[in-house]
Amino acid sequence: MDIFNGQNLLDFCERFKTDNDCREYLAKVKWESGFSCSKCGHLKSQVRKNFSRTCNICSHTESPMAGTLFHKVKFGLRKAFFVCFEMSTTTKSLSASYMAVRYGVSENTARLFMHKVREGMKSSGEHPMDGEVHVDEFVVGGREEGKPGRSYDSKKKKVVCALQLTDEGKVRRFYALKIRDFSSKSLKGIFESHISKRAKVTTDEWRGYGPIAKNYSITQIPGNNGLSFKALHTMIHQVKSWIRTTYSWVSEKHIERYLNEFSYRLNRSQSKASVFNNLITRMVKASKIYHTQIVCS
Ligand SMILES: [Zn+2]
């Protein structure tokens, strides 16, 4: 099967005309390296008209959606594919109310599915950043936006972020993580999940980074109100305004998902052609998430 390439909406419509076209695509992604029965582990199966597979030994039938983030998508797979296409190729912030109007589903349905998409966008953490990396923290939400210093105001969501620079000082990759406070213990999270020990890290003079420097190469310099970290501060500004314009109320529980979405798209801005296929593959390989988990977690 050819993977879907590009950002052209007309090509996309032509390729995915029915729910079954989407099932076929999911089946190809899911079983690209062969079928294995989820009940008995047998490797041979019959392919059904709707691209489900029936195990030759135990007759268990598995749909292409089973065990993926497309499991139990109630509003039709084609709509789900369009939402994925929009979310992966856009450069704008898309809200659940926008998606609801565009695809004729309820806002709640749109929101739940968009959270599943964001789950697929979550970084694997398998490719830590090296080279030149800048790290800083910021807050979103709350009323005291703009108040200087590291406020411990509990209404604000605290975030630590890291940026890998190119040789030209531009953005190569960006990750952000929600944290409880600005302590070393909390700040360490982004190092452990996204920064290689070989990286040359620069931070401002916040004392919280001190203890982390035992395990990482960290240089601390004066922040100069962001001037020392221009590329990173441009990113921080973008994340904040993106969150502010799209989500009137940023749930504490969901902020990490919005950060995942932002980082995912940004880190793939150089590989836009294959981004839709990348997202679908991740959503197929990710373990399934039930609605309840999304609402409650
Ligand atoms: Zn079986």
Query: Both ends of the chain: CA-CA distance in Å?
Result: 36
Structure tokens at 185: 């213990």
Transcribe 98-159 into DSSP letters: HHHHHHT--HHHHHHHHHHHHHHHS--S-S-B-SEEEEEEEEESSS-TT--S----TTSEEE
Distance in angstroms (rounded) separating the CA atoms of residues 2 and 220: 48
Taking residue 277's Cβ as centre, other Cβ atoms within 10 Å add up to 16
pLDDT string in tens for the chain (297-residue length): 789 999 999 999 999 999 999 999 999 999 999 999 999 999 999 999 999 999 999 999 999 999 999 998 989 999 999 999 999 998 877 889 999 999 999 999 999 999 999 999 999 888 999 999 999 999 887 654 455 555 555 677 899 999 999 999 899 999 999 999 999 999 999 999 999 999 999 999 999 999 999 999 999 999 887 788 899 999 999 998 888 776 655 566 688 888 999 999 999 988 889 999 999 999 999 865 555 565 544
Q: How far is the CA of 39 from the centre of ligand 1 (A)?
A: 5
Q: How far is the CA of 32 from the centre of ligand 1 (A)?
A: 18
Q: How far is the CA of 61 from the centre of ligand 1 (A)?
A: 8
Contact 83, 110 (CB under 8 A): yes
Q: How far is the CA of 288 from the centre of ligand 1 (A)?
A: 20
Q: Is 58 helix (H, G, I), strand (E, B) or coil?
A: coil
